[in-house]
Structure 1
Amino acid sequence: MYFHPINTFWFIPAQTDWPRDRDDHVFLGRATCQIGSVRFPGLWSDDDMMYLGAPDPGNQTFVGDEIDRFLAQQAYGRAVKAYEAGQRAANVATLMLKAAEDKRMVLASRSIRAGNAFHPLLHLNIDNLRSMHLFRSCTFDPSTPFDPSTQVLARHNLFVTETSLERIVRGLHAPKVPSAALAAWIEANTSVMNQAQLIVASRTAFPGFAAPTDGQVRIGDRAARKKLGLRDRERGAPKRGTES
């Protein structure tokens, strides 16, 4: 039942061996932890990414004698915690992959073997980014970017530019737009603007507030979201509601 992560890259003690941040670039592993702690304050653990893909243990009935039930409950509790960590990890990974595809998060690579130069990663769509298994070890081989089995020394460490990371973190910290005010503003402008114009203009009309973007919507009014043609904000929380 319990999910046993094979990859030790995200073990907290192993994180001391991660590459150092340098030249206004933050190592992707460290950037992931920073975004996770802001996305899930008080819940995020820096080894949550280790449980990416942990299955939902579902509901379970405990049978047997007292010792058997106790052991089963302990195993089930660990499986639930692994699943919840995996859900947080998946939410953060999706957010970052989408941000990288949209160029809001700027990725760059640097050779593990030698060299100080950073090489920007451009023109990657989200399917390619997923194929690169970026969160397995925060490395990739530029000659075969979609094959994670290449030799370690042929690979490059992945970094995020400090400026783009700060921009994402600021967006996660941004306060919500008062839903009644936003709904009234949309109603007043919807007859003279198309959807794209509404989204752009709303950012000007409500400066300092989180603007409607690519599904990461921080607006509380369902009618306003529907009017803008946007999805509900990704919850990323497990079924048990522990991240609400």
Structure 2
Amino acid sequence: MEPFKITDGDIFNVSADAMVTTIGIQCELDGHVCKELIKKLGKLKNSFKSKLKENSSTEEEKEVIKKESLNNIKDEIQKRIKEDYSLRYVKQEDITEIRTIVDGSPMLVNLKDFDKLGEFNFKYVFFVAFKRAEQGVPKSILSLACQEIIKICRKEKIKSVTLPTIGCGVLRTPISRCSSAMSEGFALSRELVKDMTDINIVCYEDIKEFVDEFKNPFKEGYKGKKTSPESRCLHIYFQTSSIPS
């Protein structure tokens, strides 16, 4: 039985080992899901909570503390993203030299240092970097990203993952292309997909027409694709793409 569950609603309410969100290739944390994640992490930060109690004299002071907390979270998340990118792809010791991330690269960040009380429904976050373009994410790049996510899941013993309809928000990717690319990526990783207990895809538009527009082509596309040799195209792509300057 295939592990796919396609629903609508709030992606943060779905339980899985890992969640997927998108970032820019210069590590911009500006995607809809990513912004909400940073906001939630900021609320969890104990120092932020304690400072609010200590400095609660004015609303203006509260806002300043809140912004400082969110900026600290952003800086730390970006640091973790670049650390994983360096270890996993480019082997660059000085992460401050990483200016640009290869289009379509997924980086994995463990939330254990941010979510000490276990309030999130996931332990890890995949931050997938995509180039901003008027026409959205190319199908080939999105397909490769999905293949790489599943490959990393196998390596890190992650058994369940929750994804949005990748690229359909700020990246402006048409839902039909997103559905086709994701189904292709998972189909080409079918042998690895079989090891997963759950692959949840959450449509951010909670209307039936949008969900159906994604779900039906996805199911047909997944059935129709044949499995390719695991990781070969991924290795070629991620090793031959330009290393960040």
Query: TM-score w.r.t. structure 1 length?
Result: 0.25
Bigger RCO (CA 8 Å, 6+ sep): 2
Structure in which a larger fraction of residues adopt strand: 2
Q: Which structure's CA Rg is the greater one?
A: 1
Query: TM-score w.r.t. structure 2 length?
Result: 0.25
